[in-house]
Structure 1
Amino acid sequence: MHRSGSTDLGRLTSGAATYNDTKLWVTALALACATRWEGTTSHAVDPGRVPTRMGGPGANDDLSAGHQTQTWLATHADVTPSTGGYWYHQQLQTPHSAARQTDFQTRLIQDLEHLTGTKLG
């Protein structure tokens, strides 16, 4: 759902952020961590739309498969790339283009640092 998220970071504080926006932002943050801090392993994972209260009864993914990619990433040493991947069911995918844009990642991190009062890195 991150693919239809907005890069308008004003939504962080305006109350106008959508679920899709937050998915884009967390994907960008995960990918930023992978490239900015040497020795850090960080991936973004799409578990699929699963039949939970949030996913709804029309969700078409398998609930039991939702966690398998995270487990695989955490336990296998031969994952390629070793960091900075965007995954869906153990398959490398192409994320929203903004998620990999350095300028968007930088603005997101700066805004999050400002909002939380916590420096990241």
Structure 2
Amino acid sequence: MSLILVTGASTGLGHATADALAGDGHDVVVHARTPDRVAAPSGAGRWAGAITGDLSETDEIPEVARQAAEFGRFDAVVHNAGTMHAPEAATVNTVAPYVLTALMEKPSTLVYLSSSMHRDGSTDLTRLADGTATYSDTKLWVTALTLALASRWEGTAAHAVDPGWVPTRMGGPAASDDLTAGHGTQTWLATHSTVTPPTGGYWYHQHTQDPHPAARDPRFQERLLGVLRELTGVALG
């Protein structure tokens, strides 16, 4: 049994991920923007706890990390929270995962939600702070962040997941991918220590793929970490 945090767990993939993990007997702490958005799982009462905070507001992100610390060290953290709407997308999709990762005790496994759309993202990091970042940009950046972290801390694995185009509120009813398959990879990664590669994978439906070349470029990764450090005032350990 593992202690697992899932961000953005009020609806969609986040809720499906948290519900599946709880159903498998894990202790799941869910994050939602506000207390009224903490949805009950199938068979209410299975959450080990809940934390709240608006990840589009940079001032609230450290408070989310503080609440998470009250549960102790997590075995896995699934950074699922996301939005397609500018200008919040850069903060929710890239800045928040960075700050939470930097401020929280390091888990055994970090899972970050990417998207196939990251392949259309820009390496122009001025967009990170000026409000012009697209959803694709932010998903490229969080993928590069993931792969930069993959070998940073001994005992902590980091993986990026493309859940596919799934019929959630964000994906819309026309989405062609399966919702169960959409959350299956992150639940699998969060609870299995023997995967190949053991860290630094870009996954789609439990199979690895090649991400945008910039995501694996050490020079771009270092530029990204530097911009995030300067923007937030928070440095990775």
Q: Is TM more than 0.5 here?
A: yes
Alignment gaps of 5+ in structure 2: 1-116
Paired residue for 1:16? 132
Task: Give every structure 1 segment of 4 or more consecutive aligned residues whose post-TM-superposition deviation is greater than 3 Å.
Answer: none
Q: Distance in 1 between matches of 2:180 and 2:139?
A: 21
- Residue 80 of structure 1 aligns to which amino acid in structure 2? T
Matched, 1:97 2:213: yes
TM-score, structure 1 length as denominator?
Answer: 0.95
Any gaps of 5 or more consecutive residues in structure 1? none
Partner of residue 235, structure 2: 119
Cα distance, 1:48 vs. partner?
A: 0.7
Partner of 2:224: 108
Alignment of 1:1-121 (within 5 A): 1-121=117-237
For 1:47 and 1:100, the matched residues in 2 are separated by 19
Structure 1 residue 35: Cα displacement = 2.4
TM-score normalised over the length of structure 2: 0.50
Superposed displacement of residue 63, structure 1: 1.3
Q: Percent identity?
A: 72
Q: Distance in 2 between matches of 1:61 and 1:73?
A: 19
Residue 14 of structure 1, CA deviation: 1.4
Max radius of gyration: which structure?
A: 2
Whichever residue aligns with residue 6 of structure 1, its letter is: S
Paired residues in the alignment total 121
Residue 20 of structure 2 aligns with which residue? none
Identify which of structures 1 and 2 has the higher relative contact order when contacts are C-alpha pairs closer than 8 Å and 6+ apart. Answer: 1
> One-letter code of the match for 1:113?
R
Tell me the secondary structure at the aligned position of residue 66 of structure 1.
helix
Residue 120 of structure 1: how far off its partner (Å): 1.0
After TM superposition, give the deviation of residue 29 of structure 1 in Å: 0.3
Q: Which amino acid aligns with 1:11?
A: R
2: CA distance, partners of 1:39 / 1:107: 25
Cα offset, 1:78, TM superposition: 2.0
Q: Which shows bigger deviation, 43-52 or 56-65? A: 56-65
